[in-house]
Chains A and B, each alone.
Chain A
């Protein structure tokens, strides 16, 4: 809790025995902190709160408010001369103190300065208010600009009588649900949306489980063990991950077709998405490195094996990074249309498609005239759960992208 213009502080002057107490109340804290006993004050003195430098983290970009060291407008005027105990009641930041100001000018000039100060303050408030309005207006415009494609997607999905992308106007000429109805009822060689949705769900759930385990296991090994060839393996893994994935996927197709002889499209996709997952261990390893090894050592002294240390100590402590790994693994089958196409090869038929492949296929040159509206409808349907998921876990996502580097 900090004292600011928003949270005015007030003083209660009480007589306690012979002396008067000036009790300053501000903020939520009820703890009194006695500043000084038996201070003799004269009529016309003003008591001013002088706050020390304030800690601010998140909002630390705007220094205006944080700079306000003296709360002039909240001065307390002493009405009766006498001895007072001064109490400061606020959750203090260590540097707050009370300053007693004794006027030596005559009361007329005092009033004039007060008036001038008031006018100054009012204009400053007015200026600040305009700035706030302009600032938020700018943000509103930016957000709307950013959301135009999303709005248009929703509008297109509710447009009736679509023949191909309706290119020339933003708002639908006729509102209708027919795109959604078509997407779910007209199931044929081209459109198998419910099936695609199910496929993608199966693939993403299975590959998420496998790749999360792989990533955590690899990160644990590299973070908590020191073995021969460890550095070599880490360097190698960093470098082979850089070979263009498109080319390795091309060979993976042959691996599935002729070496492993796996024809089930879903199994192929699950394996393709998760087999190389171990390469993405770096972020999780960085996180594990920040967990003190003294915890493991204590557990080891109590007789815990590495297996137990991993599952009962490290995993529960690593929730943010596990969630990050899960989201990235879960999202990729929903948005990938290139690798899936290469992996399934020519043998891939619509029933094997994932949502992304299927929807892209709906707007391929042969299908776009009939299916553009359905494409928009399908996109809206998959975007809703993905957006909700992303909004819920976005803070973990940020933590993961910066790789724990934020902690410096």
Chain B
């Protein structure tokens, strides 16, 4: 009511009032949404019968007891005069109740209860990560004394807590929907409307509600193996997992604790050693520079290759294309590894340049000198990327409508004009979303840099301190932190991961707004 009144007032208000109103309307809409969501639950509590009310405690109980006599259609096999069996539709009056739904919600409640009892409560109790039970070394006897049930593992406490919380949240919403459903069935029966039988429910799962059937397994998979890990790793950023405690002692890997925003303030301040901030800044810059150049060089290189290959002058097009495609098909861990030996300080290239041809007195540190490495990496990435883009752009060239060229020629356009006014705009239009997403993919491009620089080390103390090398991208640095180097600094990896995630999300949102303009999605009836 109030929001309506506000919109009717003449636009005399200043911008501040209007902004306030907009915010107010926003919250009003959210509030209305929440209200609409919970209103049926309240009605069920107030107006529902005893089974509906009991359903608040036992999920789906009401479904077993809400039933009515109604006409149902079934199939029956009938023998006609000639003795043939045919299936006919039979109408009969039967008692119908939605026991299958009840059973489903009951099972969900049972699962939630089991999760809460066995995973939730024991781990919630320790979730503060204070005073965990650990093994202690008795210094006189030189033996390790462990608690009866084994030492606590802080990581598992966090993991199980996150799983339990997610299960409980899922249960909460399913439970609410079961209450609403029970109440709806009660009202339907009172007002003499038919309800869906269990058989109808099963049928719907393969027809109207088929999307539930198709989505259930993929969504569970995503929840378990993507959402849970993501949440856990985000939480790790606020612990000292793999770091040092306030006294400067290395924290036991099983016995870390919450430190709040301390990690962030420590890492992003210059006072405390500062090497993280310096290295991080440089890695971030290099990652963005790399992603830009890797995307742009591959695009133009691929375009040139595609134009060369699709020219009328080309003979044996298929043979050349096959040659380029072969370089895609051979796994990168093989080819890039070989290129690494190729460009090694003692490798073939340097051997030729220095020993055979005497062009240089010293080998070029293709993959050892920090700056040269960066150039080498972008060059080698051209080797990797050109054929991909060539394939893709060839596909696009084939699809440019020929009438565009026809009308251009009638208007007397030259070849160059046609290329820059038809071919390029068309390719760019189709490729722009791809280019932005490949920019994001290049931010996360692990293979090229890892395989080319495997085993190398930095000479710069600031980099050594934080397990990094000059040529590392954020993603390879991340790998060093969790699996590569000697130290496993998980909390730092988590922080870097969160920042990468933020950057990727930003760029993806840009792509998304770009692509939705031409969305082919239709409204369904």
* Cβ–Cβ contact B219 & A278, under 8 A: yes
Q: Which of B229, B324, B342 contacts A255 (CB 8 A)?
A: B229
Q: Which of B156, B391, B397, B405 contacts A258 (CB 8 A)?
A: B156
For chain B, residues 213 to 233, give those with C-beta under 8 angstroms from any C-beta of chain A.
Answer: 213-215, 217-219, 221-222, 224-230, 232-233
Q: Which of B222, B224, B342, B403 contacts A237 (CB 8 A)?
A: B222
The reply to whether the CB of B294 lies closer than 8 angstroms to some CB of chain A is no
Cβ–Cβ < 8 Å partners of B309 in chain A: 139
Q: Which of B41-49, B76-84, B494-502 contacts A (4 or more CB under 8 A)?
A: B494-502
The CA-CA distance from A185 to B315 in the complex, in Å, is: 45
* Cβ–Cβ contact A146 & B324, under 8 A: yes
The reply to whether the CB of A104 lies closer than 8 angstroms to some CB of chain B is no
* Cβ–Cβ contact B482 & A250, under 8 A: yes
Interface size bracket, B side: 35 or more
The CA-CA distance from A379 to B334 in the complex, in Å, is: 6
The reply to whether the CB of A387 lies closer than 8 angstroms to some CB of chain B is yes
Cβ–Cβ < 8 Å partners of A59 in chain B: 310, 312
For chain A, residues 285 to 316, give those with C-beta under 8 angstroms from any C-beta of chain B.
Answer: 286, 289-290, 293, 297, 305-307, 310
Known: A57-B400, A65-B312, A138-B308. A390 touches B328 (CB 8 A): yes
B contacts with A: majority SS: helix
* Cβ–Cβ contact B396 & A406, under 8 A: yes
Known: A356-B331, A379-B334, A405-B433. A365 touches B455 (CB 8 A): yes
The reply to whether the CB of A276 lies closer than 8 angstroms to some CB of chain B is yes
The reply to whether the CB of A271 lies closer than 8 angstroms to some CB of chain B is yes
Cβ–Cβ < 8 Å partners of B403 in chain A: 55
Closest to A249 in B: B229
Query: Nearest-CB distance from B311 to chain A (Å)?
Result: 5
- The total of Cβ contacts below 8 Å across the A-B interface reads 322
Cβ–Cβ < 8 Å partners of A61 in chain B: 307, 310-312, 397, 419, 423
Cβ–Cβ < 8 Å partners of A245 in chain B: 444
* Cβ–Cβ contact B314 & A57, under 8 A: no
* Cβ–Cβ contact A167 & B351, under 8 A: yes
Cβ–Cβ < 8 Å partners of B396 in chain A: 402, 406
* Cβ–Cβ contact A217 & B331, under 8 A: no
Query: Nearest-CB distance from B212 to chain A (Å)?
Result: 8
The CA-CA distance from A391 to B479 in the complex, in Å, is: 33
Closest to B521 in A: A289
Q: Which of B219, B348, B494 contacts A170 (CB 8 A)?
A: B348
The CA-CA distance from A234 to B322 in the complex, in Å, is: 37
* Cβ–Cβ contact B233 & A275, under 8 A: no
* Cβ–Cβ contact B221 & A254, under 8 A: no
Query: Nearest-CB distance from B284 to chain A (Å)?
Result: 14
The CA-CA distance from A364 to B420 in the complex, in Å, is: 50
For chain A, residues 125 to 165, give those with C-beta under 8 angstroms from any C-beta of chain B.
Answer: 128, 131-132, 135-136, 138-140, 142-143, 146-147, 149-150, 152-153, 156, 165
For chain B, residues 369 to 397, give those with C-beta under 8 angstroms from any C-beta of chain A.
Answer: 383, 386-388, 391-392, 394-397
* Cβ–Cβ contact B326 & A169, under 8 A: no
Cβ–Cβ < 8 Å partners of B341 in chain A: 165, 167
* Cβ–Cβ contact B323 & A147, under 8 A: yes
* Cβ–Cβ contact B392 & A398, under 8 A: yes
Cβ–Cβ < 8 Å partners of B214 in chain A: 217-218, 220-221, 310
The CA-CA distance from A238 to B315 in the complex, in Å, is: 43
The reply to whether the CB of B300 lies closer than 8 angstroms to some CB of chain A is no
Q: Which of A156, A238, A310, A383 contacts B330 (CB 8 A)?
A: A383
For chain B, residues 284 to 298, give those with C-beta under 8 angstroms from any C-beta of chain A.
Answer: none
Cβ–Cβ < 8 Å partners of A258 in chain B: 156, 159
* Cβ–Cβ contact B222 & A67, under 8 A: no
* Cβ–Cβ contact A139 & B308, under 8 A: yes
Q: Which of A11-19, A40-48, A330-338 contacts B (4 or more CB under 8 A)?
A: A330-338
* Cβ–Cβ contact A272 & B335, under 8 A: no
* Cβ–Cβ contact B430 & A150, under 8 A: no
Cβ–Cβ < 8 Å partners of B391 in chain A: 394, 397-398, 401
A contacts with B: majority SS: helix
The CA-CA distance from A386 to B434 in the complex, in Å, is: 25
* Cβ–Cβ contact B475 & A240, under 8 A: no
**Contact indicator per residue, chain B 489-525, by CB within 8 Å of chain A (1) or not (0):** 0100110010011001100100010000000111111
Cβ–Cβ < 8 Å partners of B415 in chain A: 63
Cβ–Cβ < 8 Å partners of A167 in chain B: 341, 344, 346-348, 351
Taking each of B208, B214, B508, B523, which has the highest tally of chain A beta carbons within 10 Å of its own beta carbon? B214
Closest to B440 in A: A242
Q: Which of A105-113, A173-181, A223-231 contacts B (4 or more CB under 8 A)?
A: A223-231
Cβ–Cβ < 8 Å partners of B313 in chain A: 62, 128, 131-132, 135-136
Cβ–Cβ < 8 Å partners of B409 in chain A: 53, 63, 66-67
Cβ–Cβ < 8 Å partners of A169 in chain B: 348, 351
The CA-CA distance from A334 to B332 in the complex, in Å, is: 10
Cβ–Cβ < 8 Å partners of B90 in chain A: none
Cβ–Cβ < 8 Å partners of A233 in chain B: 219
* Cβ–Cβ contact B500 & A244, under 8 A: yes
The CA-CA distance from A403 to B305 in the complex, in Å, is: 21
* Cβ–Cβ contact B305 & A142, under 8 A: yes
The CA-CA distance from A220 to B386 in the complex, in Å, is: 33
Cβ–Cβ < 8 Å partners of A140 in chain B: 320
Known: A62-B312, A238-B512, A247-B233. A255 touches B478 (CB 8 A): no
The CA-CA distance from A239 to B222 in the complex, in Å, is: 12
The CA-CA distance from A363 to B451 in the complex, in Å, is: 12
Query: Nearest-CB distance from A153 to chain B (Å)?
Result: 6
The reply to whether the CB of A408 lies closer than 8 angstroms to some CB of chain B is yes
Q: Which of A57, A146, A227, A379 contacts B327 (CB 8 A)?
A: A146
The reply to whether the CB of B339 lies closer than 8 angstroms to some CB of chain A is yes
* Cβ–Cβ contact A307 & B156, under 8 A: no
The reply to whether the CB of A124 lies closer than 8 angstroms to some CB of chain B is no
* Cβ–Cβ contact A62 & B446, under 8 A: no
The CA-CA distance from A233 to B216 in the complex, in Å, is: 13
* Cβ–Cβ contact B505 & A239, under 8 A: yes
Cβ–Cβ < 8 Å partners of A240 in chain B: 222, 226-227, 230
The reply to whether the CB of B399 lies closer than 8 angstroms to some CB of chain A is yes
The CA-CA distance from A140 to B316 in the complex, in Å, is: 10
* Cβ–Cβ contact A244 & B312, under 8 A: no
* Cβ–Cβ contact B348 & A337, under 8 A: no
Known: A153-B338, A238-B512, A259-B160. A214 touches B325 (CB 8 A): no
The reply to whether the CB of B2 lies closer than 8 angstroms to some CB of chain A is no
The CA-CA distance from A386 to B334 in the complex, in Å, is: 13
Cβ–Cβ < 8 Å partners of A223 in chain B: 521
Cβ–Cβ < 8 Å partners of B131 in chain A: none
Closest to B524 in A: A226
Cβ–Cβ < 8 Å partners of B305 in chain A: 142
Cβ–Cβ < 8 Å partners of B324 in chain A: 143, 146
Known: A146-B324, A244-B500, A293-B524. A259 touches B479 (CB 8 A): no
Q: Which of B215, B387, B402, B455 contacts A57 (CB 8 A)?
A: B402
- Interface CB pairs A-B, < 8 A, 15: A57-B399, A62-B312, A150-B326, A167-B346, A167-B351, A169-B351, A221-B210, A242-B504, A246-B475, A248-B226, A248-B230, A250-B233, A254-B159, A394-B325, A402-B434
Starting from the known contacts A255-B224, A398-B395, 6 additional A-B residue pairs (CB-CB under 8 Å) come to A246-B446, A281-B218, A286-B520, A307-B207, A379-B331, A403-B434
What are the nearest 4 A-B pairs in CB distance? A278-B218, A251-B229, A217-B214, A62-B312
